[in-house]
Chains A and B, each alone.
Chain A
Amino acid sequence: DQQVKQNSPSLSVQEGRISILNCDYTNSMFDYFLWYKKYPAEGPTFLISISSIKDKNEDGRFTVFLNKSAKHLSLHIVPSQPGDSAVYFCAATSEGYGNKLVFGAGTILRVKS
């Protein structure tokens, strides 16, 4: 039972354009969401997070949007840079879930120069 789904296995974007990565969840208990970036041979690194009391959080080129009614969140990267090419994981958690992270399967982002 996949509680967090990233339905796009890969995404290819031109440098300077916007990258939009999507994530859906099914468990209504989740109230905190995080995005991680992973380069080959490295562990995932935290990128940005959002609490369910917000619908948007911005950090530089990265913005996460949360639509609670649709149980959907998205990560926007503007402008995309070649160094953004990596695997992006969406993760969800809540205190009621013991703060365990539940990850999606990831989306491979390729930014072409």
Chain B
Amino acid sequence: DSGVTQTPKHLITATGQRVTLRCSPRSGDLSVYWYQQSLDQGLQFLIQYYNGEERAKGNILERFSAQQFPDLHSELNLSSLELGDSALYFCASKALPVSYNSPLHFGNGTRLTVT
């Protein structure tokens, strides 16, 4: 058990809808990362937060947004969903900022299916 909790485990929704994925980092970890794993794109970095502030952005669509709250949990919001958004979404946490050497700990992912 990595200590990173993601909910829900599975989500099935229709095109055009909006969903929220939740992540609770390991106790004490200040950095949260989001990744998307789709069949044709591999594991893609979406966005990173450190102590509530956005630190780095990857290939995140404008329809997607995220935030990290004062209690350090994070939410990834996906709107106007398309079939191609079906993927496994991972959250990971790290004790220190990226510039410091420490491992990334991953949750078990949320599997999103858009029908």
Question: Are A and B genuine complex partners?
Answer: no
